[in-house]
Amino acid sequence: MSASNASVSHIPSKLVADAAMKSLQRHKLIDQLFVILGMTILFASLLTLAVLFLDLVRDGAPRFGWDFFTNFPSRNAQRAGILSAWVGTCLVMLATVCVAMPVGVAAAVYLEEYAPKNIFTAIIEINVTNLAGVPSIIYGLLALGLFVYKLELGQSIASAGLTLALLILPIVIVASREAIRAVPRNIREAAYALGATRWEVTAHHVVPYSSGGILTGLIIGLSRAIGETAPIITIGALAFIAFLPTPPIGSEFPYLSFTWLSDPFTVMPIQMFNWVSRPDTAFQVNAAAAGAVLLVMTLAMNGIAIYVRYRFRKKINW
Amino acid sequence: MASSETYIPQNNQRRLKWRKSRDRVIEFGLLLSGLVAVFVTVSIALILVTESLPFFANVSLKEFLTDNLWTPMFDSPHFGILPLVAGTLVTTMVALLLAIPCGTIIAIYLSEFASHRTRETIKPMLELLGAVPTVVYGYFALMMVTPFLQKFIPNLPGFNMLGPGLVIGIMIIPYIASLSEDAMRAVPKYMREGSYAMGATRFQTATRVVVPGALSGIAAAYILGISRAVGETMVVAVAAGLQPNLTWDPTQSAATITAFIVQVSLGDLPHDSIGYQSIFAAGLVLMLITLVFNIGGFILTRRFREVY
């Protein structure tokens, strides 16, 4: 302090104060400019989303109608619809959930509640983290080599469901782990004190209490899976499917049928890709309409996820 | 003193035994689920290597790495991966030039300037941008961004790498912004307070204290963004044209590694054809590129890690 005073002693103190003031004002101006810059970029990004959505709706508007959802694809753009696509998407998602949910939650429970701290556990953890960064088309190649040819599942709903389940597994595991970790320790200790085994503590307390977070992760994962195109193309899904898979619920005994798992199929994003890559502009209208439907599906799922997270957060107070 | 066992009825003890053995079985089942992740990693490596081995039996590694042409479906096929790698790197570069500055600025703004309420509302909305299906982004690049760019660059062809690159950039902004913001929020409050106490403004604190402190997390966010951009498929498959083209000029049309895999998969290839084998070789290269970026990122984050 005294040293700096000495070095500036020949300058009148008012000048020093003025200079400091000026510099401060300049820096505050930079602050304000940065706020404007940040808000502009943020606003522009969100505006892009709005423009994208509105443009799809505007371009696809002529096709919206009942027929679009109940017609099969057709060579005639006006008559083409997304029936086989949205049914295929629903069935593939069903297969994906059936695999991703049990495996993902079980893996998360193992890593959080059971795993000892050793190199073996560390390897599993590193694998989960790294899988999140693997490009989706690589999963497609894995599925093509493993499910389609080695396991001979063919180009079926089962192959697609398994592929997408593996793809979203890291998302489900990470989200479930976070939810499980948020359950306080004393809840577990109370259950142990009453003589519960580890599995009883997990199944009766930890998992039910973290179900909100687990559900959120699962929905986010599915919203990712629903839009995935590349891995499904790689396993060889066809774009032109003019029939529906066997319905999973039949009217005769045993009521449940699993033949749909081995049926050929198409899904929404593939249908859209097929239309978008045709030179005929009439099909671009179909592509826009299919894109709008797909986008609504994705955004709705994300909306549900945000709502579920919000509800569970509000309900819980440890 | 009587042992506690005398107080437990016989059937209760049997039940306890059963519950304990059930626990062991379940634990084993849970472990198997955890191992699925390891299984996936190992099978990806195995499938990519074994399925591309027949390809490298036909094509020498030297041709693969040095030939300037990639025409596996032609009568006189050439198998030089360079054009596809160039396409991938150019679109990734364009994407990063947009996404890294924008994502970082958004992250700094949300973490250091915005109110708690704004942050909690804006962040989920921003993350929606990353949830849009990529094929929809492809349509966006082809039908909106490219025509828009053509107003400024008259000679821009309908299929080019600039439009898709920018759209990929938009797509990865939320990843970069969200993860960087998380990293910045993890910087302890007292470091900011120390900086403010010295008379620093918010911007000075953000750029000289918070960003350096969060650098390893920010680098991890960039790496994830790069991985996404390198592996992005549908945007380029739709809007960049599917012609392999060895060029570093983003206004030209070209194919990326991912777009080539999609193009080949669209045709119905027999299992033992060279085309089928070539997509696994391409996939292997893609995986290696991703791996190089990730290892590089890992080393960088190690170096920049700050311990509080």
pLDDT of residue A3: 46
Q: Report which residue type is found at A63.
A: R
Segment B51-66 shows an average pLDDT of: 82
H helices of A61-135, where?
Answer: 66-70, 83-109, 119-131
Cβ contacts below 8 Å, chain A against chain B, sum to 260
A119: Cβ contacts below 8 Å, ≥ 6 apart: none
Rounded-to-integer distance, Cα A55 and Cα A173, Å: 36
pLDDT of residue A2: 45
Window 89-128 of A: residues touching B by CB (8 A cutoff) are: 102-104, 106-107, 109-111, 114-115, 123-124, 127-128
Partner residue facing B201 (CB), from A31, A298, A302:
A31
Q: Is the pLDDT of residue A130 over 50?
A: yes
Rounded-to-integer distance, Cα A158 and Cα A140, Å: 13
pLDDT of residue A257: 66
CB contact under 8 A, B134 and A229: yes
Residues of A in contact with B262 (CB under 8 A): 137, 230, 233-234
**Bigger pLDDT: B243 vs A15:** B243
pLDDT of residue A1: 42
Q: Considering chain B, what is the average pLDDT of its residues?
A: 86
Least confident of A104-113, A181-190, B242-251: B242-251
Q: Report which residue type is found at A211.
A: S
The whole-angstrom distance between residue B118's C-alpha and the CA centroid of its chain comes to 27
Partner residue facing B35 (CB), from A124, A173, A227:
A124
Which residue has tokens 């001979």? A152
Partner residue facing A273 (CB), from B35, B135, B232:
B135
Residues of A in contact with B199 (CB under 8 A): 24
CB contact under 8 A, B136 and A115: no
Partner residue facing A199 (CB), from B26, B31, B44:
B26
CATH architecture under which domain B82-307 falls: Orthogonal Bundle (1.10)
Q: What is the DSSP string of chain B?
A: ---GGGGS-HHHHHHHHHHHHHHHHHHHHHHHHHHHHHHHHHHHHHHHHHHHHHHHHHS-HHHHHH-S-B-TTSSS--B--HHHHHHHHHHHHHHHHHHHHHHHHHHHIIIIIS-HHHHHHHHHHHHHHTTS-HHHHHHHIIIIIHHHHHTTSTT--SS-SHHHHHHHHHHHHHHHHHHHHHHHHTS-HHHHHHHHHTT--HHHHIIIIIHHHTHHHHHHHHHHHHHHHHH--HHHHHHS-S-------TTS----HHHHHHHHHHS---TTSHHHHHHHHHHHHHHHHHHHHHHHHHHHHHHH----
Q: Report which residue type is found at A57.
A: V
CA A285 to chain B, closest CA, distance in angstroms equals: 11
For A227-269, the pLDDT digits (tens) are 888 898 888 776 666 667 766 666 666 666 666 777 777 888 8
CB contact under 8 A, B34 and A102: no
Residues of A in contact with B127 (CB under 8 A): 302
CA A102 to chain B, closest CA, distance in angstroms equals: 8
pLDDT of residue B300: 79
A21 and chain B in contact, CB less than 8 A: no
| Domain extent listing, chain B | 2-58, 82-307
- Per-residue pLDDT band for B1 (boundaries 50, 70, 90) equals very low
Window 202-231 of B: residues touching A by CB (8 A cutoff) are: 202-204, 223-224, 227-228, 230-231
CB contact under 8 A, B102 and A59: no
Partner residue facing B29 (CB), from A106, A230, A295:
A106
B173 and chain A in contact, CB less than 8 A: yes
Residues of A in contact with B271 (CB under 8 A): 149
pLDDT of residue A125: 87
Mutation target to probe the B interface, by most B beta carbons within 10 A, among A134, A148, A307 is A134
Least confident of A164-168, B7-11, B74-78, B243-247: B7-11
CA A76 to chain B, closest CA, distance in angstroms equals: 21
Q: What is the DSSP string of A173-220?
A: HHHHHHHHHTS-HHHHHHHHHTT--HHHHIIIIIHHHTHHHHHHHHHH
A234 and chain B in contact, CB less than 8 A: yes
Residue of B nearest to A289 (CA): B136
Tell me A261's DSSP state: G
- Phi first, then psi, for residue A8 (nearest 5°) are -105, 15
B30 and chain A in contact, CB less than 8 A: yes
**Bigger pLDDT: A14 vs B200:** B200
Partner residue facing B37 (CB), from A24, A138, A169:
A169
CA A142 to chain B, closest CA, distance in angstroms equals: 6
Q: Is the pLDDT of residue A77 over 80?
A: no
- Phi first, then psi, for residue A154 (nearest 5°) are 70, -170
